Structure 1
């Protein structure tokens, strides 16, 4: 009997070590759920669409918020000090990667990350010119993502088609928005090349829009509103002034048309965000940001605002209406 008990003890001991000791009752190894910090500059339709797209892109690669990934979403509501605090919060709490919606958010995240935590850009204009990366093909560090390059030459051609009698174009941008300034000045260069008269106008923040818009509307025949966060946020103020002066506004983004602009050829902000989310997912799975090229969407989708056209006494050409009906969006 003693010999039997001794043998049983030896057998159980061997079995214990062979199976690696006791396991959890579920029998499964706990897998760490990654955390993704999303920092958005402020609330407005274009940036909100990018945010929704980021979540959809992550989900497509198996990262479902609340299940297989933890999303820490922060909105700075246009406050620069909030951007700094929120960016540092992500780093302090050990986020596995962060996503930037708007250039100021990207700059704040890049500073906080200190070349370590991966930063995914979501529709950032001119990321290399912003000092965020070395080049679009070889970002060279912890940052990559998408760039929403506006089809500026197409915008000018579209403006001339819709407002053929416009002799001078007003171009407005926010001085603190690198992307807005980049787009506005590039559009101005195209105007110069095409022999189109223009004048640049600037706002420091949305509070300036009323006064600047009134001055601009008295001096130009049409307005171009580039992809610019400050201008987008003050779009309703802008069009309320220009409509009274019977001056059409051609914006860069479809959500700005919905807010009162006449028409545009717009890069789809949701799809831009979705592509960023897909890139974020691949980085979570181990892809290096350093040699992960920036991806660009630059083909615009036609968007028209029939109500704005009626207020301005403008009739859309038949071919424009046809394309918008079949491939684009029409707001009534």
Structure 2
């Protein structure tokens, strides 16, 4: 009789346990299903190009129904160009267990890469991901990182410069020595320009405080200045263009946003479109439709022709009619 009661008791206990486990598991699955995803966005510094990438990212998330504070938590952090800030913020994203981390600019991505090998990382504009050692392959990243490249169409940019300045013989390049993207593009543009018989003078800066002195010296040696995709120079673009203008020297930047800040012209990638593609990658990962390891890096091919008519007038430069027509058709004229 006692054995029978014990058996019944055991059966009742197991039955109760199974019911509890069933509802507990169901509850956890429901919680997991209804979990609000967290996205950490780490931006190197503030200037129009990087701000436009972030805007494109935000707008794309909204387009797909992700509203910050409602059904997604977006933790945006600006490192203000400080390496220690990059490290601190990256570690914080890992502690917060974000579902996706976005790095806007190469140093941001490198910092995130050093902080985690498991959380998905989306590159918001890295010029040469494979060349910089961030991923082993642009087509098959193989790890936790994928995203978008902002490699500028350098040959098209030099072609545009020579269309506007057919008598060009001496061109200068100014870049930040610690910026990997800028260094890569400087070397490529130097090689392209030299092949076309141009004399190239290269000047580097360590930080934005060097810009005035270095750009003043460079402006006295060349007929035009080219600026690669360079975050530090971009943050001081107004200063650079004003100094060069005193010598009647035009500045041709790689980034379209830098034309508005005093650049003369460029055929470049839209920073906003880079942000849009970054957003598409984030959405794909959040919805389980892709994993960084098998998501190829996106290289945007189509550029936009941007002309600064106001700056041209200041420099007494007349744009060829063919260039103006192309800008009206496939770009923008700033007046």
- Give runs of aligned pairs for residues 33-44 of structure 1, distance below 5 A: 33-44=36-47
- Give runs of aligned pairs for residues 278-289 of structure 1, distance below 5 A: 278-286=280-288, 287-289=290-292
Q: TM-score, normalised by structure 1?
A: 0.90
Instruction: Report the 3-state secondary structure (helix = DSSP H, G, I; strand = E; otherwise coil) of the residue aligned with 2:293.
Output: coil
Contact (CA 8 Å) 1:261, 1:305: kept in 2 or not? yes
Select 1:222's aligned residue among 221, 224, 232. 224
- Give runs of aligned pairs for residues 104-253 of structure 1, distance below 5 A: 104-113=107-116, 115-253=117-255
Judging changes above 3 Å, is the alpha-carbon distance between structure 1 residues 57 and 219 closer, same or farther for their aligned structure 2 residues? Answer: same
Judging changes above 3 Å, is the alpha-carbon distance between structure 1 residues 206 and 20 closer, same or farther for their aligned structure 2 residues? Answer: closer
Q: Gaps (5+ residues) in structure 2?
A: 1-15
- 1:92 has 2:95 as partner: yes
Q: Which runs of 4+ in 1 moved over 4 A?
A: 27-30
What is the alpha-carbon distance in structure 2 between the residues aligned to residue 180 and residue 283 of structure 1?
Answer: 29
Question: Once the 2 structures are TM-superposed, how far is the Cα of residue 266 of structure 1 from its aligned partner?
Answer: 1.4
Q: TM-score, normalised by structure 2?
A: 0.89
Judging changes above 3 Å, is the alpha-carbon distance between structure 1 residues 232 and 20 closer, same or farther for their aligned structure 2 residues? Answer: closer
Question: What is the match of residue 3 of structure 1?
Answer: none
Instruction: Report the 3-state secondary structure (helix = DSSP H, G, I; strand = E; otherwise coil) of the residue aligned with 1:100.
Output: strand
Q: Gaps (5+ residues) in structure 1?
A: 1-12
Question: What is the match of residue 322 of structure 2?
Answer: 319
Instruction: Report the 3-state secondary structure (helix = DSSP H, G, I; strand = E; otherwise coil) of the residue aligned with 2:292.
Output: coil
Question: Once the 2 structures are TM-superposed, how far is the Cα of residue 30 of structure 1 from its aligned partner?
Answer: 6.7
Judging changes above 3 Å, is the alpha-carbon distance between structure 1 residues 28 and 293 closer, same or farther for their aligned structure 2 residues? Answer: closer
Contact (CA 8 Å) 1:60, 1:278: kept in 2 or not? no
Question: Once the 2 structures are TM-superposed, how far is the Cα of residue 62 of structure 1 from its aligned partner?
Answer: 3.1
Question: Once the 2 structures are TM-superposed, how far is the Cα of residue 298 of structure 1 from its aligned partner?
Answer: 2.9
Contact (CA 8 Å) 1:35, 1:95: kept in 2 or not? yes
Contact (CA 8 Å) 1:141, 1:289: kept in 2 or not? yes
Question: What is the match of residue 4 of structure 1?
Answer: none
Question: Once the 2 structures are TM-superposed, how far is the Cα of residue 217 of structure 1 from its aligned partner?
Answer: 0.5
Aligned length: 313
Judging changes above 3 Å, is the alpha-carbon distance between structure 1 residues 201 and 28 closer, same or farther for their aligned structure 2 residues? Answer: closer
Judging changes above 3 Å, is the alpha-carbon distance between structure 1 residues 29 and 182 closer, same or farther for their aligned structure 2 residues? Answer: closer
Question: Once the 2 structures are TM-superposed, how far is the Cα of residue 284 of structure 1 from its aligned partner?
Answer: 1.4
Question: Once the 2 structures are TM-superposed, how far is the Cα of residue 20 of structure 1 from its aligned partner?
Answer: 5.3
What's the RMSD between the two structures over aligned residues?
2.0
Contact (CA 8 Å) 1:40, 1:75: kept in 2 or not? yes
Contact (CA 8 Å) 1:304, 1:329: kept in 2 or not? yes
